[in-house]
Amino acid sequence: KQEVTQIPAALSVPEGENLVLNCSFTDSAIYNLQWFRQDPGKGLTSLLLIQSSQREQTSGRLNASLDKSSGRSTLYIAASQPGDSATYLCAVRTGANNLFFGTGTRLTVIP
């Protein structure tokens, strides 16, 4: 069974700092990898989707990379802002109905 691990579990940084969130997965047979954001009491919002044939995707201050062979992905957030405070979840898609999530990294950006 696919297992997804995220490190660190929690992270606190001062505003303006660049940061990296890590995700690892055990089975490289994936269709894609997604990064989601979850705010307290709310659902998940998709941030970036990287297909298995791609190496990275960028959206604004966010950049996600994928190394499928080593089972790793990183989410880079540039110039962090207090509004970036949320839990970030990594998920890998292994089939039409198989989306496996990590336990998330809780990010706090201090003004």
Partner 1 sequence: GAGVSQTPSNKVTEKGKYVELRCDPISGHTALYWYRQSLGQGPEFLIYFQGTGAADDSGLPNDRFFAVRPEGSVSTLKIQRTERGDSAVYLCASSLLVDVSTDTQYFGPGTRLTVL
Other Cβ atoms less than 10 A from the Cβ of 29: the count is 10
What H or E segment, with its residue span, contains residue 48? strand 44-51
Indicate whether 92 belongs to the interface with partner 1 (CB under 8 A): no
Part in contact with partner 1 (CB under 8 A); list of ranges 12-20, 30-38, 58-66, 68-76: 30-38
Is 43 buried (19+), middle (13-18) or exposed (0-12) by CB count in 10 A? exposed
Select 4 or 77, whichever has its Cβ closest to partner 1: 4
Q: Which residues bind partner 1 (CB under 8 A)?
A: 4, 31-32, 34, 36, 41-46, 49, 51-53, 89, 91, 93, 95-104
